[in-house]
Each structure stands twice: as C-alpha cells, then as structure tokens.
Amino acid sequence: MLEGHVGGRGIVLAIPAGGLPVGAVVARRLNLPLDVAVVSKVTLPWNTEAGYGAVAFDGTVVLNEALLAGLGLGERQMREGLEATRTKVARRLKALRGDRPMPDLAGRAVILVDDGLASGFTLLAAVEAVRKAGAKEIALAVPTAHAESARRVAAEVEVVYCPNVRGGWRFAVAEAYEHWYDVSEHEAAEILDEFTGVGGED
C-alpha cells in the first residue's frame, strides 16, 4: 500500500510507544528515516485507559468536545489532566529524544504511523502538530482502525493507509493482533536508536 513512498525526502514519524515497532518496519521497507511524534492522551480521572483528548510534542491540544459535554468534568479536573499529560509528554520527549531536536519537517512528506486507530484524537493532535511544523503532506499508516475514526482523521490528512478497518460500537486495537502487548518506553527507545544513529536525525 505504501510502495509509492519508497526513498525520497519523506520521513516516518511513529507515535510512541506502540507505533515504534510498526514504524520501524515501514521505515525499513520504504528506505526512509524513522523518528517519533510524541503525543499522549488526556485520561479520565477515574479511568486511565480512556481519554478525552490528547497533547502533542509542541503543546498542541485536541479535545473530544462531544465526549466532554457528557462527562461533567470540572475546570480544575480538566486543568489537572492537561498538566499531567503535558508533564508526561515532556518526560517521554526527554527519554526518547534526549537533547536531539525534532527533524526539519518543512516541505517534507510525513508518514504518521501508530499501532492502530481507536478514537483518533491522539493522531489528530499529531497531525495538527506536524502540519504546524511545515509538513508538505501527511499520510497516515495504521494496521487497524475503527471506520468512524478513520473517516474523522482522513479529513485532516492527504491519505490514509489501513488494511484492517472495523465497525461496530466496540473497538480495541489489540483485538486485531495475533500477538499484542504494551510496548515499553525502553523498547521504543532501543528501536529508535537503531535509526537515529544512521540518518534519523536528519
């Protein structure tokens, strides 16, 4: 599906941590550099698996306003949630990038990769941040996605590549995999190190 992107000045940006193993395969196949677009979802105070928005590496915030309308979260809870997420993003940036600056995305084609697309708000935040950084065009490549979320993100990028699109009211990325586990930050850093030493710094 991605063979038209082989070589050139494009770059693969993976969403850590789960997007790194997928991004590594894509980058190798396309002979492109691999780097990360650090984004984290803003989780609910009572359920850290569920989120109502996301914060990107440049501070971009995208919120699920439709969901928020029915949650009844107070201003203080939202403020604390956003601050906690900003802190997590900053820590993960330091862990994965150290002092290495973001690659120059101005005028480049970017392929955003994650392990799957559930609500889509994490990737929407990534898309907005990458667009602000000057990317010429953005493609999204995910192994699996919920149909409604894929349509939502497709409206914000040039193209979406997804071989496994699913419908229904319930969707979990893990269910599309024969073997799935939570990728640790350490493993993500090791994968990234393989690339940044050979051109990923750009």
For residues 180 and 81, membership in a common domain is answered with: no
**No. of H helices and E strands in the chain?**
6, 10
Confidence grade of residue 202 (pLDDT, cut at 50, 70, 90)? very low
* Structural domain for 82, as ranges: 41-95
Q: Is 63 helix (H, G, I), strand (E, B) or coil?
A: strand
For residues 136 and 71, membership in a common domain is answered with: no
Q: Give the span between the Cα atoms of 93 and 59, in whole angstroms.
A: 12
pLDDT digits (tens, 9 = 90+) for 108-165: 999 999 999 988 899 999 999 999 999 999 999 999 999 999 999 999 999 999 999 9
Cα of 84 vs its chain's centroid, Å: 18
Alpha helices, H only, 1-74: 19-30, 65-68
For residues 129 and 56, membership in a common domain is answered with: no
Q: Is position 202 within any domain?
A: no
For residues 125 and 189, membership in a common domain is answered with: yes
Global pTM value:
0.89
DSSP for 157-183, please give it.
Answer: SSEEE-SEEE-SS---GGGG-SS--PP
For residues 183 and 107, membership in a common domain is answered with: yes
For residues 45 and 132, membership in a common domain is answered with: no
Residue 28 has pLDDT above 50, yes or no: yes
Confidence at residue 197, expressed as pLDDT on a 0 to 100 scale:
59
**Domain count along the chain:** 2
C-alpha angle with apex 101: 199 to 27, nearest 5 degrees? 35
For residues 133 and 65, membership in a common domain is answered with: no
pLDDT digits (tens, 9 = 90+) for 95-115: 998 888 899 999 999 999 999
Cβ 39 vs Cβ 19: under 8 Å: no
